[in-house]
Amino acid sequence: MAGQGGNSAGLPAEISVQQAYEKYQQGTLLLDVRTQPEWDEYHAPNAILIPLDELPNRLSELPKDAEIVVICRSGNRSAVATDILRQNGFNATSVAGGMNAWRAAGYPVTP
């Protein structure tokens, strides 16, 4: 289950897309863990892409002193990524519904 151990700092393991967008607007780091082809199709402006299968080897690219909101297509991969991040001391939370919910809500995407 996502959120076991690590530096969760009291954050829930998963937040709604509305909560994620509010954090995004405030400058919180949005980490997209989808594949490169999914990213190329569309993504949130200013998000950072690190595909889930690369994440364990690229943890050093992420700040441990900032909150990270993790997103994927539907919320499954982001939950796994959030668990990996928390186990490694990151302050991370997953977006319920992923980019599907993000687009459905009309939030900005870059083709």
Sheet of 14-15, strand order: 14-15, 91-95, 67-71, 29-32, 48-49
Domains within the chain, CATH numbers bracketed: 14-104 (3.40.250.10)
Question: Catalytic annotation on 35?
Answer: no
Q: Which of 29, 52, 72, 85 is catalytic?
A: 72
- Along the 111 residues of the chain, how does pLDDT read in single tens digits? 443 444 455 667 999 999 999 999 999 999 999 999 999 999 999 999 999 999 999 999 999 999 999 999 999 999 999 999 999 999 999 999 999 999 999 999 998
Query: Is the pTM higher than 0.75?
Result: yes
